Structure 1
Amino acid sequence: MADVQARMRRLGMSRRTEEAYLGWIRRFILANGKRHPRDLGAREVEAFLTRLAMDGNVAPSTQNQALSGLLFMYREVLGIELPWMDDIRRAKRPQRLPVVLSREEVQALLDELGGLAWLMASLLYGSGLRLMECVRLRVKDLDFVRGEVTVRQGKGGKDRRTMLPARLREPLQVQVREVRRVHQRDLAAGFGEVWMPDALSRKYLGAAREFGWQYVFPAPRRSCDPRSGLIRRHHMDESVLQRAVKAAVRRAGIDKPATCHTLRHSFATHLLEAGYDIRTIQELLGHKDVATTQIYTHVLNRGGAGVLSPLDR
């Protein structure tokens, strides 16, 4: 396991991916009587994935995550490239339409939130951010002059820019001033560092203590970094916003299974309804392929092709 972990860290893979892959590799080895993976092959991998589907009743995306972890171990760690690897078929993910809220439902949801939860949820809807993109925002990523938010290391490791809603400009400036006060207290106490991506902390000495690198939504308390052992102030735990949004959906009387990601879906759909170009929306969302963005054309109020039902004529 140490070799797998070292390889993933050398490749700069995220901590979440590291934990997920290690978990699946561990379960695969235990399911096969603790035999070494070199002694196992396609039959054992297929059997493991089948048990996940039949006995564990896991979703296709979970099966594919388990397969990705096992293939990473064979290819990247053990250096084994066998023909059977390409023959293993990934579980087919069902094509589902995204849950989208109306403008009135979005407003009702936001009205049930307050403080940081309202500000973060408003960013998800107003800028089209993913949940983790929001909680990982740094002070330097907010451009109040140009009205832009820069998303660093988004899905697929891509950077992008999206709009900063004018309505959120003042609340965000207030939040940044609060972050400055918290940072100054941390510095006075001998702390003030944040986690830096890749090797930037070694390349730019002292940058981890600079105000621009601080999180816009910091955690209420300092904590110990599990990898380095350093005491730092990390970003707010994403579960805080998830719980707040779930409770707000219930209080607002919204019957749809809405989550934080629903606000991003609503952002894209409402822009399409307003007549904005789908390529522009693709760039704002950070989609690699416009086909991913086109799914929102199926949930427009007027129908994907703007067809009017003959019953309504």
Structure 2
Amino acid sequence: METSDAATPEEDGAAFIGPPRPPRLLDQLRTHLRTRHYSIRTEQLYVDWVRRFIRFHEMRHPRDLGPGEVEAFLSHLAEVRGVSASTQNQAKAALLYLYKQVLDLSLPWLDEVVQAKTPKRLPVVLTEREVRDLLGQLNGPMWLIASLLYGTGMRLMECLRLRVKDVEFARREIVVREGKGNKDRVTVLPENLIEPLRAQLSRAKAVHDRDLAAGFGDVHLPHALAVKYPKSGRAWGWQWVFPAAARSVDPRSEPRVERRHHVQPESVQRAVREAARRTECAKPVSPHVLRHSFATHLLQSGYDIRTVQELLGHSDVSTTMIYTHVLNRGGRGIRSPLDAL
């Protein structure tokens, strides 16, 4: 009997390779979020909360968990970890997204999970003198970023994601793209920042030119623009106003691509915090406090609240109204009877 040279199933290792394994749950969550154009920060937050939820319940699959387990996790966050109501609600939003959107489970108890009540707090606002002292402790790009936050009312990520094409020097405007709620808006470009911004763009251009010479220079483009306009990623107008000091691998690129991202928000937060410490300011100061100060000081100067609302990008004027409470002097603008003695 002749023997065949063909390998038997037992001898052929490929025969043991079964169908491809389905993607892991967290990878499914990432893909779902990216398909719907959620920001990378939202993606990271949601993935992190789902990972914590699974670990909290000893690696059990969320399909096997119910309202009791969700309530237990959220209660643990509030009672043991001591997180704020907004953080607790953020965790709940991540879990709701997982169950409703990714696992496609229509469970009535999801909407009955208790929503933590977020307390109404007055925003921290710096005086003009405190803003001046704070900015005086900063220099370079950190000074310019902090000055833009105070001078335009932008959120930190809106400022860091600013692209060259969205700075309108002639019209004294800055176009904020895909702000909170995925909305665009226009805000003011302070006269005092025109020359510093031109200098920053010159530095950014030099960095971009070096990247191009080294075979890089491609920047991340939103949504499908990179497919529609393949060469736009290297165009000067799409570059970041505040590029990072070093290139890094884009975690969302397939295949992985080395690009230059913008300055990391943690760097700005740390710089502002250290600057506030050096001024011996007793208030808790973060970059977002400069946005609060922008709104309050505009209202103090007599600008209409609707104008401030548009500059801030608030959907509802009631959100902007919180700054009017900061303006009330002496509690409600009254004079204490003690001062009449």
Q: CA deviation at 1:227?
A: 2.1
Per-residue Cα deviation, 1:178-220 (whole angstroms, up to 9, x for no partner): 1111111111111111111111111112000000001000011
Output the amino acid matched with 1:262: V
Give the equivalent residue in structure 1 for 2:221: 196
Q: CA deviation at 1:244?
A: 1.4
Give the equivalent residue in structure 2 for 1:160: 185
Q: CA deviation at 1:36?
A: 2.5
Give the equivalent residue in structure 1 for 2:282: 255
2:149–2:291 contact (8 Å) kept in structure 1: yes
Output the amino acid matched with 2:134: L
Q: How many residues align?
A: 313
Give the equivalent residue in structure 1 for 2:265: 238
Give the equivalent residue in structure 2 for 1:111: 136
Select which of 289, 292, 297 maps to 1:265: 292
Greater Rg by CA: 2
1:10 aligns with 2:10: no
Per-residue Cα deviation, 1:213-241 (whole angstroms, up to 9, x for no partner): 01000011111112221111110112222
Q: Secondary structure at the match of 1:224?
A: strand
Per-residue Cα deviation, 1:108-144 (whole angstroms, up to 9, x for no partner): 1111111111111110000001111111110011000
- The separation in 2 between residues aligned to 1:296 and 1:311, in whole angstroms, is 27
User: What are the equivalent positions in structure 2 for 1:90-101 lying under 5 Å apart?
Assistant: 90-101=115-126
User: What are the equivalent positions in structure 2 for 1:291-310 lying under 5 Å apart?
Assistant: 291-300=318-327, 302=329, 306-309=333-336
Q: Secondary structure at the match of 2:321?
A: helix
- The separation in 2 between residues aligned to 1:34 and 1:17, in whole angstroms, is 23
Q: CA deviation at 1:34?
A: 2.8
1:130–1:264 contact (8 Å) kept in structure 2: yes
Give the equivalent residue in structure 2 for 1:282: 309
2:86–2:118 contact (8 Å) kept in structure 1: yes
Runs of 4 or more above 3 Å deviation: 301-313
Select which of 51, 71, 77 maps to 2:76: 51
With 103-112 and 51-60 compared, the bigger mean Cα shift is at 51-60
Give the equivalent residue in structure 1 for 2:208: 183
Q: Secondary structure at the match of 2:63?
A: helix
- Structure 2: state its 5+ residue gaps: 1-24
2:29–2:102 contact (8 Å) kept in structure 1: yes
Q: Secondary structure at the match of 1:157?
A: coil
Select which of 44, 53, 66 maps to 1:41: 66
Identity fraction in percent: 58
1:74 aligns with 2:96: no
Output the amino acid matched with 1:186: D
1:209 aligns with 2:226: no
Select which of 37, 40, 44 maps to 1:19: 44
- Structure 1: state its 5+ residue gaps: none
1:297–1:303 contact (8 Å) kept in structure 2: no
- The separation in 2 between residues aligned to 1:81 and 1:89, in whole angstroms, is 18
Q: TM-score, normalised on structure 2?
A: 0.88
Output the amino acid matched with 1:64: N
Q: CA deviation at 1:177?
A: 1.4
- The separation in 1 between residues aligned to 2:89 and 2:112, in whole angstroms, is 14
Q: TM-score, normalised on structure 1?
A: 0.96
Q: CA deviation at 1:253?
A: 2.1
Output the amino acid matched with 1:145: A
1:133 aligns with 2:141: no
Q: CA deviation at 1:162?
A: 0.3
